[in-house]
Amino acid sequence: MGAVPKRKISKARRDRRRTHLKLTVPNLVPCEECGEMKRPHYMCPVCGMYKGIQVRPQKVE
Ligand SMILES: [Zn+2]
């Protein structure tokens, strides 16, 4: 048997611990090229541009 807790964690203590477990919505800023919402400091997933340069090769130029 592995490590087993000696005492049950109370509901209050358990729930207090879980106050830090939450999902956060990522920040979104409009892409300068196509206007789609994207995450800041990330390449745009729609047009593949970042800081005005083509980062991802496009199928249609
Ligand atoms: Zn874009």
Q: Is residue 10 part of a domain?
A: no
Centroid of ligand 1 to alpha carbon of 52 (angstroms): 10
Q: Is residue 14 part of a domain?
A: no
Per-residue pLDDT tens over the stretch 4-49: 999 999 999 999 999 999 998 889 999 988 888 999 999 998 888 8
Centroid of ligand 1 to alpha carbon of 20 (angstroms): 33
Q: Is residue 16 part of a domain?
A: no
Mean pLDDT, range 46-59, rounded to an integer: 81
CB of 37 closer than 8 Å to CB of 46: no
Alpha-carbon span 34 to 61, nearest angstrom: 14
Alpha-carbon span 16 to 32, nearest angstrom: 41
Centroid of ligand 1 to alpha carbon of 27 (angstroms): 15
**Could you tell me the residue range of the domain that residue 40 belongs to?**
29-61
Q: Is residue 24 part of a domain?
A: no
Q: Is residue 7 part of a domain?
A: no
> What's the predicted TM-score (pTM) here?
0.51
pLDDT class for 59, splitting at 50, 70, 90?
A: low
Centroid of ligand 1 to alpha carbon of 9 (angstroms): 48
User: Cβ neighbours of residue 7 under 8 Å, at least 6 residues apart?
Assistant: none
CB of 32 closer than 8 Å to CB of 41: no
Structural domains in the chain (count): 1
Centroid of ligand 1 to alpha carbon of 18 (angstroms): 36
